[in-house]
Amino acid sequence: MRPEEALAAARAAAAARAAAEGPQPAAGFAIAPTDRVGDEQLMEWAAIEPDVALMRSTRRAGAPITWLKRLLLRALRQYHNELTSQQTRFNLHVAVRLAELDDRVRALEDEVLRDRGQDGPGRA
């Protein structure tokens, strides 16, 4: 096989292997299914609370890089606080709106069931 043909052959082999295995999620992108999330959990997730202690570098010279990152974070603290407060405010408003819509849908479903002569399940 000539070097010019190697790339085409490698692509053909990879395509054949992918077709035989079927669709596979990319490594690191698989999301585990969760149960239905409650309103309290949504409210907790809506609030952005960055943890500075998690900022670190795993490079060979990690300590000075981590120090520099934390210095930059300290210098830009006001900017980051403004961004996170705006995003948190938006997230909380969306979560509250979703909770209100969920309550309205449940009330309408209960009303439809009552109109049909059945007892509505109510809110569990």
pLDDT, tens digit, 9 for 90 and up, residues 76-118: 999 999 999 999 999 999 999 999 999 999 999 999 999 988 7
**Structural domain spans, the chain:** 35-115
Entry pTM: 0.54
Closest CA to 56 of 73, 43, 41, 31: 73
Cα torsion 91, 92, 97, 98 to 10°: value is 70
Structure confidence at residue 121 (pLDDT) = 60
For the stretch 16-29, pLDDT in tens is 887 887 766 666 66
In the chain, the percentage of residues whose pLDDT exceeds 90 is: 32
Structure confidence at residue 63 (pLDDT) = 87
Average pLDDT over residues 23-38: 69
d(CA 99, CA 52): 31
Whether the CB-CB separation of 49 and 87 falls below 8 Å is answered with no
DSSP state, 38? Answer: P
User: What is the residue type of 1?
Assistant: M
Structure confidence at residue 60 (pLDDT) = 82
Whether the CB-CB separation of 75 and 67 falls below 8 Å is answered with no
d(CA 64, CA 36): 43
Structure confidence at residue 106 (pLDDT) = 94
d(CA 56, CA 13): 40
